[in-house]
Every structure is written in C-alpha cells, then in structure tokens.
Amino acid sequence: MRTNSQERFQDKRIDMKKVLSIIGIIFVAFNLRPAITSVGPLISSIKADIGLSNAAAGFITTLPLLAFAIFSFLAPKFGQRFGLERVVFAGLLTLIAGILIRFISMTFTLFAGTALIGIGIAISNVLLPGIVKEKYPQKVGLVTAVYTTCMSVFSAVGTGLSIPLAEGFGLGWEKALVCWVVLAIPAAIIWVPQLRKPAKADDVKTPALQNGSIWRSKIAWQVTIFMGLQSFLFYSMIAWLPEILNGRGVSISTAGWMVSVMQLTGLPMTFLTPVLASRFNNQRGIVGMIGCLYTTGLLGVLFAEGIPLLVLSVMLIGIGQASSISLALTLLGLRAANARQSAALSGMSQSIGYSLAAVGPVLIGILLDITASVTVPILLFIAIIVVMVTAGLGAGRNQTVFQQSKEPLR
C-alpha cells in the first residue's frame, strides 16, 4: 500500500516532469526561426565579403526551405524508429553544428552550415506537434499557442537584431550569426531529461505508420493543402509585399516598415488562435474568419488610397497570416488520435508545405517580371486563399485522420 506521502511525492515528480517538458518545448521553439531570419538583413555584407552573386545569395534563403521539405518527410520515420524526443535532440545538435560551421567565412561552410540549420529546424518543426499531442492531449491548443508565439517572437527578434549585432556592436556578419548558438546550446541541455523516456511498445506501430496509409487519408490531405498554401502565402508576401506596395506608390523604406507592422500585428493571434481552436468542436468558423481577413486585406492593398488605409489592409493580412499558421500547427494535433499519427501528419503536411513555400517567391517574381503589374500577384493570392479556405473547411471537421476510412483508433 502506498502512503499519502509517497503519493504526494509521486505527484510532485509528475508535476516536475511536466514543468521540465514545457520548458524544453519552449526553448526548442526559441530556436525554430532566428538562425534563418537573421540572415536576410546581412545578405549585402555576406555578398561583399565572400563575393557571392545575387543568385547564390538568394539560394541562402531558399536552402533551408528545401531542407524543410526533404526532412519534414523523413523526420517522422526517424521518430518512429528512435523516439520523438531523441530525434529532436539530434536535431538540436545538428542546428548547433550548423550555426558553428557558418562562423567560418567561406562559401562552402556558409552553405553547408545553412543546410544543417535547415535540417535541424525541420526535425523539431515536424516532431514537436507529436510530442505536444503525446504529453498534453487535453491541452493541445494551449501548448501549441505557447510554442508558436515563442517561435514567432524570436523570428522577429532574429531579423531585428542582425544589423545591431553586426554593425552596432561591431561583430561582423559571422559573429552576428553565430550568436544564436547561445539559444541552441541551452535548449539542448534543457532537453536532456526528455531522453530518459522509454519508448512504449504499443505506441511504435499505429495506423498512421502502416504502409504509408496517412497519404490515403482525405482529411490528412485537407490539412496538408491548408498548411501548404498558408506557407506559400506567407513566404511569398514576406519576399514580395514590399515590392507590391512600392508598385502602389509607397516608398520602399515605408513598405519595409509596413511589412514589419504586418508581422507584429499578428502576434496576439499567434497565441489566441490555437486556444480558441481547441475549445470548439470544429474549426470551420476560424477558417472562414482567416479567409475574410486575408481577402479584405489584399483587396485593400489593391484598391485602397493613402497610407492609413494601406497600413490597415496590411495589418488585416498580418492577422490572417498569424491565425493561419497557428491553426495549421494546431490541426496537426487535433486531427490525430495519438502522437505517432500527429508526427506522421506533421511530416506529410510540412514536407509539401515547405515545397510550396520554396516555389512561391520564385513564381511571384516571375509573374512580376512578365506582367510588370502588382495586380496579377494579388489576384493569384486571392485565388489561393479560396482554395486554402476550401481545404481548411474540410480540415476543420471534428474528425481524426482515419475516421472517414473507418480504421480503428488507438
């Protein structure tokens, strides 16, 4: 018979494990963007120092997206074989290696380090939703809200601190980029207690992982299309919205400021959307809201006159963007019956999503070159939103990925 004191001690141990787990997830989230977003503002310095062409410099920002696309597909397989927590730890070590290698001022090390960074981040991107589903099955929305907000905040911090670190503190681009190891190393150390968790024999094989059946699930494809198209929209607008605004008569410096406002405006919805999504039986209403915000904002960019109305339009786009990425990540947990299904769904949706994200900026650039008009890209964005919302209405149903195929859930 266990005494009351033994039970209280056991409860405290469980609580401490949960505390360490959520701290670990938060610190991993800190590292999911800044090593990438910190590069953009330093491109000119990197080009001048190493002697890169514009095409090669552009590939620096595309390379992580390609790594995301490839390793988002592979990460669930590694997670199934070695355990989700162990593979995330390996991803953190890969990230650290990439950051340190990039410190060496050579073309090869710059690209090699960037590729390793992309691989390391891709692994955590994919497997965190599964870990959240496993450890916090009743609080998927809240925990997702916390880590996506941390991710978004440090994404902006990475962009904002690059120039001050490189020029204000005189570190140069190499040391400015290597500074982000001060986030990655503590994250790896804090994650170490998660490695003690033994794999459960009955959790290794699930319906999601037998013969690639996740790819035959209709709702999995709907989640994937929603994830992919919101990624296409986000990366395309980050790359080209300043140019589009410039075509509407806004100076390029003001346009850049407006894009920053767009990202900051969305931060509250980064947190609120997953919380709201987890409280409803289905998420169709949120999908509809995202479509309205996005479309209204884009129509405002196309037709509004004057800076105040354009700023308001860009803010609506920012709210739509933040809500869509947060909802997409939340759906990876809500549409899965267990952690393995969540990881498999995450890998499927993010591999396709980041493939579309890598194509998006190039496609929009080609359209701008061919048409010399900002109207065509905006109309394409609106058409993509229609498809995204249609997929989202399906993905927002209160079902898990195998219910419509009548496969047993575990």
Q: What is the DSSP string of 167-193?
A: IIS--HHHHHHHTTHHHHHHHHHHHGG
Q: Check residues 141 and 200 and name the one with the higher pLDDT.
A: 141
Per-residue pLDDT reduced to its tens digit, 164-192: 898 888 889 999 999 999 999 999 999 99
Report d(CA 317, CA 59) in Å as an integer.
27
Query: 12-204 and 206-401: same fold?
Result: yes
- Under the banding of pLDDT at 50, 70 and 90, the label for residue 199 is very low
pLDDT over 70 (residue 4): no
CA distance 282 to 288: 12
**Which tokens belong to 189?**
């150390």
Using one digit for the tens of pLDDT, what is the confidence trace for 298-351? Answer: 999 999 888 999 999 999 999 999 999 999 999 998 998 888 888 889 889 988
> Do 373 and 309 form a contact (C-beta atoms < 8 A)?
no
Q: Look at residues 131, 153, 138 and name the one whose alpha carbon lies nearest to residue 32.
A: 153
Cα–Cα distance for residue pair 74/80, rounded to 1 Å = 10
Q: How many CA atoms lie within 13 A of 199 on its CB side?
A: 14
How would you label 324-335 residue by residue, b for 16+ Cβ within 10 Å and e otherwise? bbbbbbbbbbbb
pLDDT attached to residue 62: 78
Q: Is the pLDDT of residue 135 over 70?
A: yes
147-151, 238-242, 402-406: the lowest-pLDDT one? 402-406
pLDDT digit string, tens, across residues 18-59 = 788 899 999 999 999 889 888 877 877 888 888 877 667 767
| Tokens representing residue 323 in the block | 């809500």
pLDDT in tens, 345-380: 988 998 888 888 888 888 888 888 888 888 999 999
CA count, 13 A, side-chain hemisphere, 353 = 33
Identify which of 359, 358, 356, 350 has the alpha carbon closest to the alpha carbon of residue 74. Answer: 350
The candidate with the shortest Cα–Cα distance to 244, out of 380, 377, 54, is 377
Look at residue 5 in the predicted model and tell me its pLDDT.
Answer: 56
Mean pLDDT (whole number) for 209-228: 82
- 52-90 b/e with 16+ CB inside 10 Å = b? beeeeebebbbbbbbbbbbbbbbbbebbbeebbbbbbbb
Check residue 3 and give left, alpha or beta (phi > 0: left; psi -120 to 50: alpha).
beta
* H helix intervals, 83-139: 84-101, 107-135
Q: Where are the domains of the chain?
A: 12-204, 206-401
Class of the CATH domain delimited by 12-204:
mainly alpha
Query: What pLDDT is recorded for position 410?
Result: 35
Tokens of 120: 């390391």
CATH, domain range 206-401: 1.20.1250.20
